[in-house]
Structure 1
Amino acid sequence: MMKKKVLLFLAILTVQVGISQTIDKVKLDTYFNVLEVNNKFMGSVALMKDGEIVYANQIGFSDIETKKKPDDNTKYRIGSISKTFTATLVFKAIEEGRIKLEQTIENYFPSVRNSSEITIADLLNHRSGIYNFTNDEVYLSYNTEHKSEEELLSIISEYESAFEPNTKSEYSNSNYVLLSFILEKLYNKSFAEILREKIVHPIGLKNTYFGGKIDIEKNEANSYKGDWEIQTETDMSIPLGAGGIISDPSDILLFAEALFNHKIVSEERVTQMQTLKDNYGMGLFKMPFYEKYSFGHTGGIDGFSSMFGYFPEEKSAFALTSNGTNFNNNDIAIALLSALFNRDFTVPSFETYKVSSDDLEVYLGIYSSPSFPLKITITKSGAILVAQATGQPSFSLDATEKDKFKFDQAGVVMEFDTKNNQMTLKQGGGVFVLAKE
């Protein structure tokens, strides 16, 4: 499933720090080795400085059944990072005079609600009001099946509008599926052909193309979740330019370097892509790292997750592609950028604190606070503590010391004060004290 949420880097300090002349590759290698041996992350990462790849690493398995290890040419589904490629293709079409940002889409999709008011710019900026069809629970009943343009248009058109066009921004995969169809009509070619002719071949990408059924013989990775259970494959006829591209970190960085140095579209168009409305650019998000900032995107589809960011002022960038993670990718990105910008970072420790089922009894219950929007229900499964927020899936917690538990994948820490019947929840810099009901 294509994810709709975007994790942004923590921006804590505002001191000036220059880029290190060397990357602490030994410490980064240690960092990723610890993730690998603890089954926390499988995938590939890369760092760029001044247009050159200065660090790359691959860990885990690209296919667990055959024990196939990834290498620097292993390819991953990159999910919504595809949107950055698609937005670039739209601006390429604009520069070729094939389409305009301000034109509406009713001639392409008269069945879509408010199509006479929705512009190309609205689609790019997630300001169309078109409902995100992947949010519907029924999506998972057909996402592995091939869908034609007619079928997808029927699905997207049946939903009521989420809001009036250009009144706010709200992430919707529907926008970029429609942009994919528009590109195919403008060029009278498949999205795969357009991507290849307009981006991949001109800038010399080796491992980037529109995806199909995963083929491990072509060094494409399968994806996994949890205890590395293999995931089903979304049929790529559905995400198209919203999430259907395959690539690797080095190719993503080469694409970013070409884009932000105006080798694909002009500086004017890149500036338009970077311009934010309600925190959304056109195929880009702005992501801070301390006093610096990058433009990039995140992605998630099936068991794959990905992230990239390009720092225009420093001409530096990072990318990660994963086919399985039980860790917070945002923390991995922070470690990569800390190495790139000569900041200290900590190699994680996964030592656990032994608890029995009886030990967990004192924590069980429902915790809430007027200042926190959700209730947290704490239960147990054997000797494992389990948390579930209102309307969210449950997740297992790892004990790290007495009264302290964590969930690495979401960066969650829970500290219990059993005497006062309270629990302190820490996530993403936020600290919330919840009381047991």
Structure 2
Amino acid sequence: MKKIICLLGFTFIGLSLFSQDFSSPKLDSLFTALEKHDRFMGSVALSHNGKTIYTKTIGYADIEAKKTVDVSTKFRVGSITKMFTSVLTFMAIEEGKITLDQPIADFFPNIKNASNITIGNLLNHRSGIANVTSRPDYLLWNTQPKTRQQLLELIEQGGSIFEPNSKGEYSNSNYQLLTFILEDLLKDGYANLIKTRIAEPLQLENTYMGSTINTNNHEALSYNYDTRWNKSFETHMSIPIGAGAIVSTPTDLNTFSTALFEGKLITKESLKQMKTFEDGYGMGLFEMPYFTKKGFGHNGGIDGFTSQLATFPKDRISMALTSNGNRYSNNDILIAVLAAYYDKSFNLPNFETIEVTAEDLEKYLGIYGSKQLHLKVTIAEKNGTLTAQATGQSSFPLEAVEEHAFEFHQAGVRLEFNPEEKTMLLKQGGNTYTYTRE
């Protein structure tokens, strides 16, 4: 586990046979609870054999104007965009305009190690190129437009963080560069490539490259939660481009992913390449396994938006989630959708909390280390709320759910303290890690 809060990739629980009589009441009750406790705003859709069999929407697309989310509400989907960009890249490969082993020095000779970095290395995050969105100054300029030359200079400045193809590490820079390459090779802008090569052929009426959010066009604003929902900033879409600039709906995302795995966009050989994994990275895809079966897809996060898309080709199931405000685990929601589909039981969340004071929290404060993870966690108190911050990550608030137990539902994190022994158990994703206060 590289991060305590990790929405990238997920593992589903084991499930068995499909229930021919899909029943949604318990699933509906999950969304009722999420809405009642103000934990989630967004939209979910499930499809089977290419047909939508369940949708659910809750919350507001625009809180101030009291515009509610509905099935036509469009969301920024963040890095799910990379699936689209990968498809466009393989289209260019199939047209003989580029090859997987072609060095990017042909396009960007000033990038460090360019002669040893291939198109394939960009697709599967094995380039070593530093992630431009991880720059310390990123949030100082991400809401302002950037030209291609300005972005390229920022990427060049970042340099290399490891030798090409020596390992995999996620970098948005890879897909920004792919965007530029595609625009040059296919002689069209990224927005129009998405429109003409994917959206129009599949009749995706609500999928396109985003720009400034327009709520009058059924586009959602995004929000972060403090003691209430606060409108998030808007990243200028000239920055993420093919790494994260697409706007869509869950039903459109399911249609796109289903078409991809049915061979309607690229060949079987190209899809096989997309599904070739090294160090957990495919070429625009992640594996999403459950039981003995395999799912494939991607997740996304940009500003206050989060999203997930998963397809299980053998069962012809696709499910997508888009959110513009989230205080609960997307993974847990999708597991619940699967469980309902397969007529399996799942637990409804308990959002009951207990009252604590700043004085109550003093016994938990400090820096905790673990022999299991090389990741320290700092526990602090802010305005009567316990917060946790892992090394290199932002802090997040914890809710008191039991004596000595605190949770952060959005990432499925539970912390259980033993003040007398100065220990803490960190539980996430079915794993338990023991921490000791230094």
Q: Sort the TM-score into its range (normalised by shorter chain).
A: over 0.9
SS at match of 1:158: helix
Contact 1:7 1:330 in 2 (8 A): no
The aligned counterpart of 1:317 is 318
- In the TM superposition, 1:321-340 aligns within 5 A as 321-340=322-341
Pairing 1:394–2:390 present: no
Contact 2:7 2:411 in 1 (8 A): no
Deviations 1:33-58 (A, max 9, x none): 11112111111100111211110111
Deviations 1:192-236 (A, max 9, x none): 111111001111111000110000000000000113111111111
The aligned counterpart of 1:370 is 371
Letter in 2 for 1:313: K
Distance 1:108 1:382 in 2: 52
The aligned counterpart of 2:236 is 235
- Deviation of residue 31 (structure 1)? 0.5
- For the structure 1 residues 166 and 74, does the alpha-carbon distance in structure 2 shift closer, same or farther, using more than 3 Å as the test? same
SS at match of 1:362: helix
- Deviation of residue 166 (structure 1)? 1.7
- For the structure 1 residues 381 and 133, does the alpha-carbon distance in structure 2 shift closer, same or farther, using more than 3 Å as the test? closer
The aligned counterpart of 2:87 is 88
The aligned counterpart of 2:201 is 202
The aligned counterpart of 2:385 is 384
Distance 1:402 1:336 in 2: 31
- Deviation of residue 319 (structure 1)? 0.4
Contact 2:286 2:298 in 1 (8 A): yes
Among all aligned residue pairs of Structure 1 and Structure 2, give the percentage whose two residues are the same amino acid.
Answer: 49
- Deviation of residue 305 (structure 1)? 0.6
Distance 2:427 2:196 in 1: 47
SS at match of 1:90: helix
- Deviation of residue 145 (structure 1)? 1.0
The aligned counterpart of 2:296 is 295
SS at match of 1:116: helix
The aligned counterpart of 2:174 is 175
Deviations 1:227-268 (A, max 9, x none): 311111111111111000000100000001110000111111
- Deviation of residue 427 (structure 1)? 1.3
Distance 2:113 2:437 in 1: 47
- In the TM superposition, 1:105-144 aligns within 5 A as 105-144=104-143
Distance 1:260 1:122 in 2: 22
Distance 1:211 1:17 in 2: 39
Deviations 1:270-298 (A, max 9, x none): 11111112211111010112332211001
Distance 1:21 1:213 in 2: 43
SS at match of 1:220: coil
The gaps in structure 1 that reach 5 residues or longer are none
SS at match of 1:195: helix
Letter in 1 for 2:375: L
Distance 1:282 1:174 in 2: 14
- For the structure 1 residues 252 and 111, does the alpha-carbon distance in structure 2 shift closer, same or farther, using more than 3 Å as the test? same
Contact 1:10 1:290 in 2 (8 A): no
Aligned residue pair count? 432
- Deviation of residue 11 (structure 1)? 5.0
Distance 1:144 1:361 in 2: 38
Distance 1:101 1:391 in 2: 34
SS at match of 1:310: strand
Distance 1:380 1:102 in 2: 51
Distance 2:8 2:149 in 1: 33
Structure 1 window deviating more from structure 2 (86-95 vs 105-114): it is 105-114
Distance 2:244 2:177 in 1: 12
Deviations 1:283-323 (A, max 9, x none): 10101123322110010111111000100111101100111
- For the structure 1 residues 390 and 275, does the alpha-carbon distance in structure 2 shift closer, same or farther, using more than 3 Å as the test? closer
- For the structure 1 residues 94 and 52, does the alpha-carbon distance in structure 2 shift closer, same or farther, using more than 3 Å as the test? same
Distance 2:322 2:387 in 1: 28
Deviations 1:101-131 (A, max 9, x none): 2212222112211222221111111111111
Contact 1:369 1:435 in 2 (8 A): yes
**TM superposition score normalised by structure 1:** 0.95
Contact 1:385 1:396 in 2 (8 A): yes
- Deviation of residue 6 (structure 1)? 4.8
SS at match of 1:433: strand
The aligned counterpart of 1:62 is 61
Distance 1:233 1:149 in 2: 19
The aligned counterpart of 2:285 is 284
- Deviation of residue 382 (structure 1)? 4.5
- Deviation of residue 394 (structure 1)? 2.2
Letter in 1 for 2:105: E
The aligned counterpart of 1:257 is 258
Distance 1:435 1:426 in 2: 14
Contact 1:40 1:325 in 2 (8 A): yes
Distance 1:394 1:341 in 2: 37
The aligned counterpart of 2:157 is 158
- For the structure 1 residues 239 and 345, does the alpha-carbon distance in structure 2 shift closer, same or farther, using more than 3 Å as the test? same
Distance 1:262 1:92 in 2: 12
Letter in 1 for 2:54: Y
The aligned counterpart of 2:31 is 32
Distance 2:202 2:391 in 1: 47
- Deviation of residue 377 (structure 1)? 2.8
SS at match of 2:166: coil
The aligned counterpart of 1:406 is 407
- For the structure 1 residues 224 and 191, does the alpha-carbon distance in structure 2 shift closer, same or farther, using more than 3 Å as the test? same
Letter in 1 for 2:38: N
Contact 1:77 1:211 in 2 (8 A): yes
Distance 1:398 1:404 in 2: 8
Distance 1:99 1:118 in 2: 14
The aligned counterpart of 1:217 is 216
Letter in 1 for 2:336: A
Letter in 1 for 2:128: G
SS at match of 2:193: helix
**TM superposition score normalised by structure 2:** 0.95
Letter in 2 for 1:139: Y
- For the structure 1 residues 138 and 361, does the alpha-carbon distance in structure 2 shift closer, same or farther, using more than 3 Å as the test? closer
Letter in 2 for 1:379: A
